Amino acid sequence: MATLAGNIADSSPIGDTIPPLLVLKASLVAASTRGRREIPLDEFFTGPGQNVLKADEVITKIRFPAPSRGRGCFLKLGLRRGTSCSVASVAVWLVAKGNRVEEARIALGGVAPTPIRARMTEKSLVGLRIDEELIEKIARQAQAEINPITDVRASAEYRRAVSSRLLAKALRGALGMEE
């Protein structure tokens, strides 16, 4: 069976646990005979299957601060139910007062060489009152931050389209809005 640390160390762009950990501001502790170091998860990945771990290091801890406010949502699209590999995934964490966004964190998997935070999209949400029109605009805007590939699971065009739909649905979910 897989482990959370193994999923992270594998550094796959489609690792399901990574987008939720990115929006929760996770870090990990890597240890070797030389000592320990803490690595923010958003600085860990360097390419598909590549990361900053040294050959003699192992992940000993995964940490994230317990959120005191906000709500999140994680969605993934796979080719079949169960433990299938993701075509694309999205995680959202929003802190809102009413429908006005005070803080936004968005991470996507399967749409770039590494799992990513959509930082420009996050910034564009802050201070705005979210409604259906804005959700659709933000979902389209996030497409500018991704760089999907075509592989056996899906085409780049399909990943681009589905990631936009997943983001819109996740934003609604994080806000408790009905679809």
More confident residue, 85 or 128: 128
User: Tens of pLDDT along 69-120?
Assistant: 999 999 998 765 655 677 889 999 999 998 799 999 999 998 989 999 999 9
Task: Quickly name the fold that domain 4-63 has.
Answer: 3.30.465
- Read off the tokens for 21: 């950990």
Q: What is the tens place of the pLDDT at every residue in 49-81?
A: 999 999 999 999 999 999 999 999 999 987 656
Quote the tokens at residue 112. Answer: 């770039």
Instruction: Please name which of 127, 134, 139 lies closest in space to residue 100, comparing C-alpha atoms.
Output: 127
Ordered by start, the domain boundaries in the chain are 4-63, 71-175
Given pLDDT bands bounded at 50, 70 and 90, which one contains residue 35? very high
pLDDT of res. 83: 56
At residue 46, the pLDDT reads 96
Joined tokens for residue 40: 């923010």
CATH superfamily of 71-175: CO dehydrogenase flavoprotein, C-terminal domain (3.30.390.50)
**Full-model pTM:** 0.91
